[in-house]
């Protein structure tokens, strides 16, 4: 019995109930790339078309904005910022360098977290807890430690290049050489930190930031007339840093989760803050 009833039934192509022949001589076969071609259409152009199957190359030579940027391909991303680093110096264009090596030189095993370091005269001073550790050879060796006349945990230290100023719970006193100069030359209960900026001695108690005037021989008792910010100043909970610059003094403080920086002007006529 014949496999097909007619020649038409033997044709290889069926459309509905009809069969058709096919001209194999005109048949062409080819493959397509399973991964579509990529093109760089971002606002920050790349160096080539984006190969979907390979690495998307990006080259940068300037990282001077430092760490803090997690994603480099967002609309708000910048080309000079990166995610995180440890022990590198990114501040020279075209170079990434290691920081200088450090060596532990502390005079003892510290158990407190109020550790401060400053220089004054021929000495380097390191403080921890109530103790002050002096060194006269740049920290290679440490002399016997001492405390202030009335020992209290040290809250902050600062130097004018000659004297070391120490803030604690009763006020601000000074250190010269290897011993205290006096007991709370500037009595200021609850003093939280002390700074020297452009030749001015400043101290903080909570929101209060005040100028401590006078001399070591004749210090002027702290008073509210010398306050830069009073104890009721609502924009700052605590002052964290004060620095001097050629254009004036800047003070930084925290209010809740926000940090704020204030400019402290100097009166050209009276030199008052």
So where are the chain's domains? 61-102, 115-264
Q: Which residue has the higher pLDDT, 101 or 160?
A: 160
Which one is the CATH code of 115-264: 3.30.1330.80, 2.130.10.10, 2.40.160.10, 3.30.10.20?
Answer: 2.130.10.10
pLDDT of residue 2: 46
Query: Does 27 score more than 90 pLDDT?
Result: no
pLDDT of residue 94: 85
Least confident range of 4-18, 135-149, 212-226, 240-254:
4-18
Query: Does 9 score more than 70 pLDDT?
Result: no
Query: Does 52 score more than 70 pLDDT?
Result: no
pLDDT of residue 47: 58
pLDDT of residue 170: 92
How would you write the chain as a 3-class SS string?
CCCCCCCHHHCCEEECCEEECCCHHHCCCCCCCCCCCCCCCCCCCCCCCCCCCCCCCCCCCCCCCEECCCCCCCCCCCCCEECCCCCEECCCCCCCEECCCCCCCCCCCCCCCCEEEEEECCEEEEEECCEEEEECCCCCCCCCCECCCCCCCCCEEEECCCCEEEEECCEEEEEECCEECCCCCEECCCCCEEEEECCEEEEEECCEEEEECECCCCECCCCHHHEEECCCCCCCCEEEEEEEECCEEEEEEEECCEEEEEEECCCCCCCCC
Instruction: Encode pLDDT of 66-97 as tens digits.
Output: 888 998 878 888 888 999 988 889 888 888 88
- The pTM for the full model equals 0.66
pLDDT of residue 161: 92
Query: Does 49 score more than 60 pLDDT?
Result: no
């Amino acid at each position: 019995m014949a496999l097909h009833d007619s020649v038409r039934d033997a044709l290889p192509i069926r459309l509905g109930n009809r069969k058709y022949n096919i001209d194999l001589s005109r048949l062409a076969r080819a493959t397509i790339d399973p991964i579509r071609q990529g093109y760089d259409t971002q606002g920050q152009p790349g160096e080539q078309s984006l190969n979907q199957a390979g690495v998307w190359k990006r080259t940068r030579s300037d990282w001077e904005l430092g760490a803090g940027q997690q994603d480099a391909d967002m609309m708000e991303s910048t080309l000079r910022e990166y995610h995180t680093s440890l022990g590198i110096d990114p501040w020279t264009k075209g170079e990434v360098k290691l920081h200088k090596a450090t060596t532990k030189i502390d005079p003892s095993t510290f158990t407190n977290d109020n550790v401060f370091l400053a220089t004054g005269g021929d000495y380097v001073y390191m403080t921890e807890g109530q103790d002050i550790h002096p060194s006269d050879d740049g920290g290679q060796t440490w002399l016997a430690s001492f405390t202030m006349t009335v020992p209290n945990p040290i809250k902050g230290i600062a130097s004018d290049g000659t004297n070391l100023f120490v803030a604690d719970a009763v006020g601000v006193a000074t250190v010269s050489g290897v011993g205290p100069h006096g007991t709370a030359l500037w009595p200021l209960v609850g003093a939280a930190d002390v700074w020297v900026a452009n030749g001015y001695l400043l101290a903080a108690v909570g929101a209060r930031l005040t100028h401590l005037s006078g001399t070591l021989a004749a210090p002027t008792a702290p008073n509210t007339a010398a306050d830069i910010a009073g104890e009721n100043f609502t924009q700052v909970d605590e002052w964290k840093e004060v620095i001097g610059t050629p254009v004036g003094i800047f003070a930084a403080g925290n209010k809740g989760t926000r940090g704020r920086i204030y400019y402290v002007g100097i009166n050209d006529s009276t030199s008052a803050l």
